[in-house]
Amino acid sequence: MSQSLMVAFDVPDKKAALKLAEELGGGQGKTAKVGMELYYKEGAAVVQDLQEQGFAIFLDLKLFDIPNTVQKAMLQLARLGVDFVTVHAMGGKKMLQAAKRGLEQGALESGLPAPKLLAVTELTSISEAILKDEQNCRLNLKEQVEQLALLAKAAGCDGVVCSALEVADLHQVVGDDFFYLVPGIRMANDQVGDQVRVATPAKAKAWGASAIVVGRPINQSTDVKTAYQAYLADWQGSEQEK
């Protein structure tokens, strides 16, 4: 269960990443989310460094380009032996299918398992007003997320990234045989920052999240391990970390 609480390694460089890994007590049973900030600074080497520490890797680069480009990029990412990768669902069905092909080809050529392909629906920083006034979407937020999730499933994705507020409805509309990864996780007394659609770990779990991602409340804490354990306890409920 601890591996379903992913920690965002949204830090500036390798030194900070390894420090965070140490403060977490190592990577055994844990998943590190490596996003744009760290990957663009350090490249694939930092992924290997964290894997050597025992972390599973969620490589969150949110690819969004023409199908051919995305397919070739995913072929390269699959060779890293990571566990999850992301694309934007709004790239369309052909792009999502191309991403899946690239992952399968890269996994086959490297002899590694193919990473799970997760499609980002709407970012947790997007509100109803932004969706309507800036994205000019004719659907409301709930409908938009549902349609993007249905598209992702039809294209062969393994799951979606969505806010906790949409998970229960997605189970009804898309099904239980899909992976629902939920960012925007905050305790009730935490600052939400630039997140809009947030929830506690316990609520995300109750509503049907398969896994959650926690960033600043852990990686910017003055006591990283205690913060991690508090979030893990809330996610697991009465269970204790093994």
- Helix intervals (H) in the chain: 14-23, 36-42, 44-52, 67-78, 93-110, 128-133, 141-154, 164-173, 201-207, 216-219, 224-236
Instruction: State how far the Cα of 228 lies from the Cα of 187, in Å rounded to an integer.
Output: 12
Residue ranges of the annotated binding site for substrate are: 10, 33, 60-69, 124, 186, 195, 215-216
> Which residue has tokens 């600074």?
41
Residue 176 annotated to the active site: no
Instruction: State how far the Cα of 132 lies from the Cα of 140, in Å rounded to an integer.
Output: 8
The catalytically annotated residue of 14, 41, 49, 65 is: 65
Q: Compute the CA torsion angle 220, 38, 64, 199 (nearest 10 deg).
A: -20
Residue 60 annotated to the active site: yes
Count of Cβ atoms closer than 10 Å to residue 181 Cβ: 26
The catalytically annotated residue of 14, 41, 49, 62 is: 62
- Counted residue by residue, the chain has a size of 242
The catalytically annotated residue of 30, 60, 153, 205 is: 60
Residue 65 annotated to the active site: yes
Active site residues: 60, 62, 65
